[in-house]
Each structure stands twice: as structure tokens, then as C-alpha cells.
Amino acid sequence: MAIQPDPVTPMSETTPRPFPRRSLLFTPGDSRRKIEKGAGLAVDGLILDLEDGVALNRKAEARAVVGAALAEIDFGRIERLVRVNGLATEWFAADLAAAAAAGPDAIVVPKIDSAADLARVDAALAALEAKNGRPPGGIRLLVLIETPLGVLNLPEIARCGGRLDGLILGGEDLAAGLGATRTPEGWELFYARSALVTAAAAYGLSAIDNISVDLDRHDRLAEEARQGRRLGFTGKMAIHPAQVPVINNCFSPTPAEIETARRLVAAYEAHQQAGTGAFAFEGRMVDRPIILAAQNTLHRAQLTAPYEE
């Protein structure tokens, strides 16, 4: 059989908004109290959850609470996301309709296995945007990669473009699907984390790392967050307000990093003017890739600055 190239999935056209997405805090969708609490935090994004954080007999209640919260609460700079139940569930259609009517910044879709799954979500959302008189593609999508098939299909999912803004690692579901045992070191998820970061970077998407379920071990959370950042993740999910500052801190460039990046870029520009490519800077060879990393640091600093006020 001849190998066919991947079909390119047409996705609605869009304009991405520059949210830093260091910390995305899950807040159960049926808890107005927690949503209000979340809106007052120095968090980059809140994921109002209709899926696993909500009991099976509270799904309709959660939809109503999330709709009212988005209409009534001032979230300031915080990105407003709603996680719906998965495509294969009986709740998906009603969740998506409620979320689209409420008009969050983005919708988080769990258990995406393929580009075809994503195309179905996009088409349903586009129809709802048209029905609600909202601009096409205005509501962004972030997808949870949390099945073995989702990991295998990362390249075709990441290249869908359009309203797709980010990939999130759902590590607990994935470990269960893999038959893996969770360990503190996390090597059982290393391949998936690395594959997700690579796919996200290739297509300019946010890469969001797994939650840390230990509520009291902030040393462990910080170590996981630093490891994620070193791998290339742009942020990490949180499940409790106390995790948010730890995550923000780990994913923010430090003042020393910003200062070094500024000096590097200035030195690079001076050397370019003088017709020099590679040069020595404080005992290390510097060339273009190192400057790109420095520019990336300055860009991240610019994105996060308003959230530090």
C-alpha cells in the first residue's frame, strides 16, 4: 500500500493572544467559591473544570456555575479556560455549547487522540461561534495529550494550526494508559514529555507540563517544574493556589538571566556591525543559537512582566 501524506486538517483562522501560561490552575467548575478565589490569585490562567474535578451527578450544575462565573466575575489579566468532558462522553456536546456561549479565552479538550478528533472539536466550535455571533476562531483550543495514541499522533495534532494554541501533558491518565507506574523521578513519562515539547516547539504552541499531585511537597513541585522548564515546557498545571507562586517562579526568567540576555544581545549586535559572527562572551563561545535563546528569555520577560505587578 502506498504511504499517503498526513491530511492537513483545515482549522478556523484566528489571532492568538499573548498569555504567558506559566501557571494554569484547575478549579472545580461546580465551586463558585474556588472560582472566585482563583480570580483573585496571581495566576496566569484558570481552568474551570467540567471534567474529572466534578462529580458525575454535578455535571449540569458545573456548566451553570461556570457560565455564570464567566459572565459575572472580573478575572483581570487571568486567561479564562474551560475544560470540557471528552469527545467520547455523553457530556461533550452540552459542555462545549455551554462553554462556547460563555465565551472563555480558550477551551481545554481532554483525551485528544488524533488530528481527526481535533477537527471534530474545531468544527463543532466554529458552528457554535457562528450561532452565538462570535468571531470565528476567537475561542482558542488547548488539548490534553493523555493517551498512548495521543502521544503517537503528536506531530499530526500539533500541525493542525488554526485556533490550536497549546499542548498539555495529562500525565496521570497517560501513565494509566501506558500501564506505567508513577515514580518521583518520572522517567516513565520522559518520552511523552519530550515528544510533546518537540511537537509544540515545531509548531509554535504552548507546552504545558503535568500536574503535581503532592499538595504539601513544594520542594518536589519546584524540582518537577524546573525539570520541565529545562526540557522546554512553557508552563505547568496547578491544582492548589499554594502551588501557583512556586510554578510562576520556576517558569519566569530571573533578573540575572534577563540582565545576561540583554548584555548578550547588545554584544551580538555590536559584533554583527563589526562583521564578526561567533565571538567570546565571559569565557564562552557565542553564536546565533545562543542569541536566539537570549531573545527568547527577553520575550518571556516581556510577557510575564505585567503579571508581576
* Residue at grid coordinates 457530556: 91
Out of Mg ion, ligand COA, none, which partner does residue 21 contact, by CB within 5 to 8 A per kind? Answer: none
- Contact (Cβ atoms closer than 8 angstroms) between residue 232 and residue 196: no
Does residue number 26 form part of the binding site for ligand COA (CB under 6 A)?
yes
The smaller minimum CB distance to ligand COA, of residues 96 and 144, is found at 144
* Binding of residue 95 to Mg ion (CB under 5 A): no
Nearer to ligand COA, 11 or 208 (CB): 208
Question: Between the CA of residue 294 and those of 95, 138, 228, 264, what are the distances in Å?
Answer: 41, 31, 19, 7
Q: Where are the alpha helices (DSSP H) in 83-216?
A: 92-102, 115-132, 148-152, 154-158, 171-178, 190-202
Residues forming beta bridges with residue 169, ordered by sequence position: 145
Ramachandran angles phi, psi of 151, nearest 5°:
-65, -45
Binding string, 219-238, against ligand COA, x = CB under 6 A? --------------------
Q: Is 111 in the site for ligand COA (CB under 6 A)?
A: no
Name which of 115 and 208 has its Cβ closer to ligand COA.
208
Site residues for ligand COA, 43-82, by CB under 6 A, read: 49, 52-53
Beta strands in 259-309 (DSSP E): 279-281, 284-286
Identity of the residue, 110 or 253, whose beta carbon is nearer to ligand COA in the bound complex: 110
Question: Does 173 contact Mg ion by CB under 5 A?
Answer: yes
Binding positions for Mg ion, rule: CB under 5 A = 146, 170, 173
